[in-house]
Amino acid sequence: MAKYCVSTPGVPHITFDTEAEAEKFLKWATRSDEKASSQSSIKKVFASGVVVDKRLTAAFQKLRKIGYTALENHWCCARCGWSAISDEQADKAVFYHSQDYDQFMELRCGFLVWSGNGQEICDTIVEAGLRVEWDGSVATRILVFL
């Protein structure tokens, strides 16, 4: 199922179920500001279903088994992605969002948003047959190569 994410300067991403609703909101939000209007966009995002690679899907399934909330193509950006995850889930979570999805498709590599044990996440992804790059810092996103 797709959702429509409105991105406009100064306003956090807001998502709508239909493109018409998103357009209506964008028109209202930028009604007296031509510059903001020109910097705004509506992006179609997928709430679920469209994934990058079956090896990554396998790794995410394994991560769920060891207690992670692992979500593919989860919302439009890290901020919206985190806000859709509950506080308890946020202790151990892994996801990539729709901009990451686009990057995976274009460059055959992409970053994961994560919390928990970074090494454990990397090991699980490597076991599934993919290569990762991560510097061991909690502030760094894990880069996965397909």
The residues binding Zn ion (CB under 5 A) are: 13, 76-77, 80
What is the smallest separation between the CB atom of 43 and Zn ion, expressed in angstroms? 9
Q: Which 3-state string (H, E, C) describes 9-20?
A: CCEEEEEECCHH
Regarding beta strands 109-115 and 142-145, do their DSSP bridges make them parallel or antiparallel, or are they unpaired? antiparallel
Pair 146, 104: CB distance under 8 Å:
yes
- The residue of the chain with the least Cβ separation from Zn ion equals 13
H helical segments located in the chain: 19-29, 34-38, 54-65, 78-83, 98-107, 118-127
Tell me how far apart the alpha carbons of residues 100 and 62 are, in angstroms, rounded to a whole number. 21
Tell me how far apart the alpha carbons of residues 48 and 46 are, in angstroms, rounded to a whole number. 5
Pair 69, 89: CB distance under 8 Å:
yes
What is the smallest separation between the CB atom of 136 and Zn ion, expressed in angstroms? 28
What is the smallest separation between the CB atom of 83 and Zn ion, expressed in angstroms? 9
